[in-house]
Structure 1
Amino acid sequence: MVRLIPMAFAIPLLAGCTANAMETHEAGAESLSERDQRRMAALLDGKTPGDPQPCINTRPNTQSSIIGNQMILYRVGSTVYRNDLNGICPTLRSTSTIVSQRYGSSQLCSGELVQVRDPLSGAGFGSCALGEFVPYREE
Structure 2
Amino acid sequence: MAFKHVAAAALITASLIATPAAVSARPKLTGEQQLAKILEGREAGKPVTCIPLNQANDTQVVDKTAIVYRIGGTLYVNRPTNADKLDSDSILVTKLFSSQLCRLDTIQLHDRSTRSWRGFVGLQDFVPYTRVKQPAAPAN
TM class, shorter-length = 0.5 to 0.7
Which shows bigger deviation, 70-79 or 106-115?
70-79
Residues 111-122 of structure 1: pairs in structure 2 closer than 5 A: 111-122=104-115
Give secondary structure in 2 for the equivalent of 1:121. Answer: coil
Residue number among 100, 103, 108 corresponding to 1:107 in the alignment? 100
Deviation of the 1:133 alpha carbon: 0.2
Residue number among 35, 41, 44 corresponding to 1:46 in the alignment? 41
Alignment-derived partner of residue 125 in structure 1: 118
* Length-normalised TM-score, structure 2: 0.66
Structure 1 gaps of 5+ residues are: 1-32
Deviation of the 1:62 alpha carbon: 3.1
Question: 2 CA distance for matches of 1:90 and 1:41?
Answer: 17
Give secondary structure in 2 for the equivalent of 1:59. Answer: helix
Describe the superposition over 1:51-105 as per-residue Cα deviations: whole angstroms up to 9, x where unpaired: 110000112343221123231111111100111113x3443212111111124x2
The number of aligned residues is 105
Alignment-derived partner of residue 94 in structure 1: 88
Question: 2 CA distance for matches of 1:89 and 1:134?
Answer: 16
The answer to whether residue 57 in structure 2 is matched with residue 78 in structure 1 is no
Give the % identical residues. Answer: 30
Alignment-derived partner of residue 19 in structure 2: none
Alignment-derived partner of residue 66 in structure 1: 61
Q: Is the 8 A contact 1:43 1:80 kept in 2?
A: no
Letter in 1 for 2:63: G
* Length-normalised TM-score, structure 1: 0.66
Question: 1 CA distance for matches of 2:112 and 2:48?
Answer: 29
Deviation of the 1:35 alpha carbon: 5.5
